[in-house]
Structure 1
Amino acid sequence: MNKPSAPCNTAPSKHYAACLSLRKVFMSDELEQRYQESIEAIDDGRLSAEECIQQQPDDGLELAELLNLTAHLADRPRVEPSLAFRQQARRNLLAQLPDRPVTPATSQEPANGGWLEALWERLTKSNGRPAQILAIGGLAMAALAIFFVALIALNGGGPDKDGGINGVLESKQPNLEVVESPEETPGEAPAAPVAEAQFAVFIPFSGIGPDINTTTAGLRTTQGVAEIWTEKEGWQPLGKLAELRVGERIRTLDYSEAVVMFNDGSQMTLAPGTEIE
C-alpha cells in the first residue's frame, strides 16, 4: 500500500478546503465520509495520516492518495483570475455567439388619425376608378354642406319675421317716431338744411345692420359722428349702425355724413351740420 508523502505537515482545514471539489468528482459517498472523518481526526490531533490509513484497510489506498493530493494542493497559493482576464474572457465568449437580427424601427401612426386616408384606400382599392370619382364627389358635397352651414351660422340665422336682419346695433331710446323729411312753410325761415333722398334702392348688409320695419328706420354713419338727443344726457354719439324710432332727434356734426334708410328701400343722406326730428 502506498502511503502519503507528508499529509500530516499541512493543516487539516486546508486539506479539506483544497480537496473539496475533488472529492465531489472522484469519491463515493462512503469514501467521502471516511475522508471527512480522517480530516477531522487530523485537525483535532487525535490521529496522524498514517493511523487514519491503517484504520481503513479496504479503502486505504484511495484514502492515502486523496490525503497526499490534498497536502500538495494546500501548499500551493490559490490563483484568482484578474479583472482584465475575466473581461477578456467575457469578450471572447460574446464574440463566439451568433449576431442577433436587428429589427428596423417602424413609425407608429396615431390611433385616432388618418381616417380619411383609410376611407380613401378602402374605396379605391376594391372598385378602382369609379370609386375614386364617387369618393371625390362625396367629399366635395360634404365640404359644400359644411360651408353653407357655417355661412348661415355667421349670418345669424337669416332675416326675421319683420323683414329685418338679425345682429342689429340698436339705439336704446324708447317711443321714437318714423323720421320724415321736414316740409317748408311759406313765410318761415328754414332752420337747418334738409337732406334729400339720393338713392332709390336699399341693399341689406348680409346680416349686419339695423332692424328696419314699418315703425323704425336705420341710420348708417358714413363719415365723422352722428348724434342723438336724449332728455337726460343731451346729445350722445351714435355708432356706425343704429336704429331710429318715432320722435328721434338726430344731427350730424361738421365734416360728418350719415344715411337714413327706410323699410321701403329708400334712403336719405344727411349732410354735415344737418339736424332732423
Structure 2
Amino acid sequence: MKTSDARKQRTLAAETWRRFRKNKLALAGMIVLITLVLIALSTIVIDLVTDNAIYNNYVIKQNLRLRLQGPSKAHLFGLDEFGRDVLMRMLWAVRYSLFMGTIAIALSTVVGVVLGSIAGYYGKVTDNIIMRFMDVLLAIPSMLLATAIVAALGTSLTNVLIAIAISYVPTFARTVRASVLTIKDQEFIEAARAMGASDFRIIFKYILPNSMAPLIVQSTLGVAGAILSIAGLSFLGLGIQPPTPEWGSMLSSARSYIREGWHITVIPGLGIMITILALNVMGDGLRDALDPRLKN
C-alpha cells in the first residue's frame, strides 16, 4: 500500500525523470547536450570578458606558415588550411550550431502550435485550408525548401533561421493538430465549454498542456534536424559565412585539403555526428518516458 501511495504522489515531472534516467543511452545523450550548452555559454562569456581578444587571436587569426599541421600537444586538434586552431574553432562553433538550431525550432514550434491548434479545434473549412497548405510544404524536402528560401532572401543568420523555421512548421502543426483532435472532445473540455470558457482559454489552458508530451519529443528531434540543415546550408555556402566558425562551413572549406590534412574534415564531421546522435537518443528516451502506454 505504501508503495502504491508513493507512486500516486509523484508528479508528472518526477515520474518522467525516474523513467528517463533508466535509459542509460538517453542519459548519456543529455549529458553530452548539457556539456555542449555549457561550452557555448562559456565562449559567449569569454568573448564578453576579453572583448573578443581570444576570438580574434586564437579562433580567426591566421598563421599560414603552420597551415595543415596535424594534432599535437600544442594544438590538440591540429591547425586548418589557414593555420587556425581547429579545437578553438570547434568550441566557438558550438554556439552557432546549437543555439541557431534551438532558436529555429522554437520559432517553428510557436507557429506550428498556433496553426495546428486552430486547425484541430475548429476543423472543417479552417482545417482544410491550413492543413492543405502544410501538405504543400511537406511535399518539398525540408533541406530543399530551406535552400530555396535562403537563395531567395540572401545569405545571413536571420534568413537561415527563417528558412529552417519555415521548413519545420508543417511537422509541428500536424503533431499538435493530431493531439488536439484526440483531446478536444473529452469530458473535461466539454465541462469547460459548459462553464463559458472561451475558445482561446480552452485551447491554451486545457488542450495544449495535455499535448506537451509529443511536442517536447518532436522539438528535441527537430533541433537535431535543424543543426544538420544549418550545417548543410553552410556547406553549400548559403549559411554562416567564413571566417565565422561553424561546423558545416569548416567542412566545406576543408574538403579540398582532405588528403593533406585529414583532421580538418574528420573532426568537424565528428562534432556534427556526436551532437545529432546525442539529441536523437535523448529524444527517443523522452518519448519512452512520456509514453502513457508504458506507465505500468
Q: TM-score range by the shorter chain?
A: under 0.3
TM-score of the superposition, structure 2-length normalised?
0.21
* Structure in which a larger fraction of residues adopt helix: 2
Larger-Rg structure? 1
Higher relative contact order structure (alpha carbons within 8 Å, sequence separation ≥ 6): 2
Q: Which has the higher strand share?
A: 1
Q: TM-score, normalised by structure 1?
A: 0.22
